[in-house]
Amino acid sequence: MVRLQSVVHAPSSNRWLAAGDSHRTGAREAGVEAASLALEHEGADLLVVFGSYAYEPRELLDGICSQAPGVPLIGCSTRGEIAASGPSDAGVIVLAIGGTGFSVATSAATTAGGLREAGAAVASRAHEVRDRQHRVLLMLTDGLAGDQQEVVRGAYGVVGAEVPLAGGCAGADPRMGMPRLFRDGEVLSNAVVAAAIGSDAPLGIGVHHGWRCVGEPMLVSASESNRVLTLDDEPALDVYLRKLGAPSDAASDPAAFADFALTHPLGLQRRSGEDVRAVAGADFSNRSLLCAAQLPRGGLTWFMEGDSSSVLAATDVACNKALNQLEGAAPIGLLAFDCVARRDVLGDAGAEQEVARIAGHADGAPLAGFYTYGEIARISGTGGFHNQTLVVLALA
């Protein structure tokens, strides 16, 4: 048994966050331990759970709920976890939020009726926390279910510009296992879960990616939803492989292509800069690219590159952006949603440095997060889905 974290921050206002994690091999035992460490105060209003895809999800959730019956809960499976003690794999983190000045409403929806509709459905309970001055909709989604920008559009259509969005896409077994989402006592797939959080104290969201454009821009000459058919009127896959000098097996082997594409995203031109779009797969029959979100026809796109220095610099930018929105108050906790591709760029040593930087910005307050398949951060405008990016949510 390895106990990695038991952190509590209880300022004089009696608002508190607490985090606990566990690496026990048994799913139920890990859930019990992580939850018991997080529940060091009475009266938790919300539990947020990030648990490895390797755990049996039903047993994990049963263990957590046994320690906090009736406490609202959202969570998801991960490709790795983030705690104040560092990055980890095959563990579970439970974050508890409670004390004075919070209101919480959880929700869930399947994507069977459409991604936009699911986003709207989970946002529909945000009005229940409108009694608080500061609000956020914390969203966790199945990133393999389709264009996640549609989920963001659905949520934005309900809450508008008043309520910012933050969160990420659940991780899954790299052999294409299904991501799992948690809401209260339920284990869900092909779903979106959310917690509307109202707070009397400020909340802050920071987002930055650390990638840079290289080469000449390309025209997305044909696309359908999140599938890019042609770039500069050539089959998109052929352009992508040729211009990036991809290894030969990436042209026909899905696994080899996925490994290569993980660190070779595309950039989408925006007025405020470039959004990053992960290349999630390829159709070798029609030579198209499958992206995590839409690249619209007629738009400009670039290849993007990054290294450990640029990714680590982006970490500081995202943290500072979040903390600067707290109106001078100290954070009582941070949540981090970090793309698994950034971890691959950093390597093990770099990932340790990155999490140490985030924990340093937390200044002793609890930290909980996970490595995602896509990130959500909508502060302004209707966009808000990101790839290969770090999103930080700070609470005061």
pLDDT by residue (tens digit) across 167-185? 999 998 877 678 999 999 9
Q: What is the mean pLDDT of residues 71-85?
A: 96
Q: What is the pTM of this model?
A: 0.87
**Is residue 18 domain-shared with residue 160, that is, in the same domain?**
yes
How many domains does one find in the chain?
A: 2
Quick one: tokens of 134?
A: 């500061």
Q: Which helix (H) or strand (E) holds 313?
A: helix 308-324
**Is residue 225 domain-shared with residue 371, that is, in the same domain?**
no
**Is residue 203 domain-shared with residue 321, that is, in the same domain?**
yes
Q: Domain ends where: 268, 284, 304?
A: 304
**Is residue 281 domain-shared with residue 333, that is, in the same domain?**
no
pLDDT band of residue 272 (cuts 50, 70, 90) is: low
Domain extent at residue 245: 212-304
**Is residue 85 domain-shared with residue 18, that is, in the same domain?**
yes
110-164 pLDDT, tens digit per residue, is 999 999 999 999 999 999 999 999 999 999 999 888 889 999 999 999 999 999 9
**Is residue 54 domain-shared with residue 148, that is, in the same domain?**
yes
Q: Domain ends where: 288, 304, 320?
A: 304
**Is residue 51 domain-shared with residue 68, that is, in the same domain?**
yes
**Alpha carbon distances (Å) from 217 to 232, 266, 278:** 10, 10, 17
**Is residue 343 domain-shared with residue 227, that is, in the same domain?**
no
Q: What is the mean pLDDT of residues 274-299?
A: 89
**Is residue 329 domain-shared with residue 252, that is, in the same domain?**
no
Quick one: tokens of 70?
A: 């009736």
Quick one: tokens of 166?
A: 């933050």
**Is residue 202 domain-shared with residue 240, that is, in the same domain?**
no
**Is residue 82 domain-shared with residue 225, that is, in the same domain?**
no
Q: Domain ends where: 259, 279, 304?
A: 304
List the beta strands (DSSP E) in 28-101: 44-52, 73-78, 81-83, 86-88, 92-99
